[in-house]
């Protein structure tokens, strides 16, 4: 598997220090929020060649490659999956621009979170919402396939302000309904914590791993992760035993301690990987 970290953990002016910490700590993958990665661009979803080249070169100079993208609807006004024709149009256009950006830079995974943009309004039956969303995501899956990427559906607990796909079980069921090779599941450990099912994760991975295209090492409210490195050990071991070879990415908000938290999280992930009997130097090769 390939170990990575999301750039939402630092401010743009801290990026080179973060890349240095990642490279020194054994990480080779970078997950990006475009607004932070292409921060010098007027439109981070359509960066100019010079801005793009600079951002990619800085990353590559530290031995990093792009593994995933999040914050897919950043800057999109009025988007809503279930909020009427105009809002749905904005939603689809926003998702399409994210897919096209991933295709432009060879990013193999797109994390669909966006809890505020996927709330099911009062009066709409959940069965209807699932059916309408499945139809949209099949079409988005076609575009993702053409771009060479995959959209992973992220469970967002109700505490994040949505009532659609709150649990892993609901995500698994939804992706089965969509039934598209470019629509997959993300294992988000923060959501598992918040839904009080974290301890059950290792035993579920035999059946879950084939559905996964990405893993987030996260904690509730995106606090510094992994808080419990020991609790991560059986999950990494089970992922490895079940043949998972894609990215495992630390996802956390920027902490007030800045680079101290980034370095600490990288070290904790490394400790967990070694305890899981993964060769840390080779596990991300």
Q: Give, in degrees to the nearest 5, the angle at Cα 9 between 4 and 13.
A: 110
pLDDT band at 285 (very low <50, low <70, confident <90, very high): very low
Percent of the chain with pLDDT over 90: 97
Q: pLDDT for 145-171, tens place per residue?
A: 999 999 999 999 999 999 999 999 999
Q: pLDDT for 19-30, tens place per residue?
A: 999 999 999 999
User: Burial code of 147-170, b = ≥16 C-beta within 10 A, e = fewer?
Assistant: bebbbbbbbbbeebebebbbbbee
pLDDT band at 281 (very low <50, low <70, confident <90, very high): low
Task: Report the pLDDT value the prediction gives residue 280, as an integer from 0 to 100.
Answer: 65
pLDDT band at 283 (very low <50, low <70, confident <90, very high): very low
- The crossing angle, in degrees rounded to 10, of helices 15-25 and 49-60 is 30
End-to-end, the C-alpha distance of the chain in Å comes to 8
Q: pLDDT for 105-142, tens place per residue?
A: 999 999 999 999 999 999 999 999 999 999 999 999 99
CATH for 2-279?
3.20.20.150
pTM: 0.96
Q: pLDDT for 37-83, tens place per residue?
A: 999 999 999 999 999 999 999 999 999 999 999 999 999 999 999 99
């Amino acid at each position: 598997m390939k170990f990575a970290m999301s750039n939402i953990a630092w401010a743009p002016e801290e990026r080179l220090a973060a890349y240095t910490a990642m490279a020194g700590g054994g990480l080779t993958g970078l997950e990006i929020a475009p607004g932070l990665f292409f921060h010098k661009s007027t439109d981070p979803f359509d960066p100019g060649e010079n801005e793009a080249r600079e951002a990619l070169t800085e990353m590559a100079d530290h031995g990093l490659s792009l593994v995933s993208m999040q914050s897919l609807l950043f800057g999109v006004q009025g988007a809503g999956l279930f909020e009427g024709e105009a809002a749905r149009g904005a939603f689809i256009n926003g998702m399409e621009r994210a897919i096209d950006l991933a295709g432009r830079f060879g990013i193999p995974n797109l994390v669909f979170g966006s809890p505020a943009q996927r709330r099911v309004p009062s009066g709409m039956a959940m069965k209807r919402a699932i059916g309408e969303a499945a139809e949209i995501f099949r079409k988005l899956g076609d575009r993702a396939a053409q771009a060479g990427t995959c959209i992973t559906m992220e469970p967002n607990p109700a505490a994040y302000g949505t009532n659609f796909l709150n649990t892993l079980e609901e995500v698994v069921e939804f992706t089965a309904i969509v039934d598209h090779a470019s629509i997959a599941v993300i294992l988000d450990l923060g959501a598992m914590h918040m839904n009080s099912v974290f301890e059950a994760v290792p035993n579920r991975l035999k059946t879950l791993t084939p559905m996964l295209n990405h893993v987030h090492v996260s904690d509730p409210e995106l606090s510094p992760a992994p808080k419990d490195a020991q609790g991560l050990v059986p999950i990494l071991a089970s992922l490895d035993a079940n043949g998972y070879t894609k990215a495992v990415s630390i996802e956390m908000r920027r902490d007030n301690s800045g680079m101290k938290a980034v370095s600490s999280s990288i070290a904790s992930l490394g400790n967990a990987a070694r305890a899981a009997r993964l060769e840390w130097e080779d596990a991300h090769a």
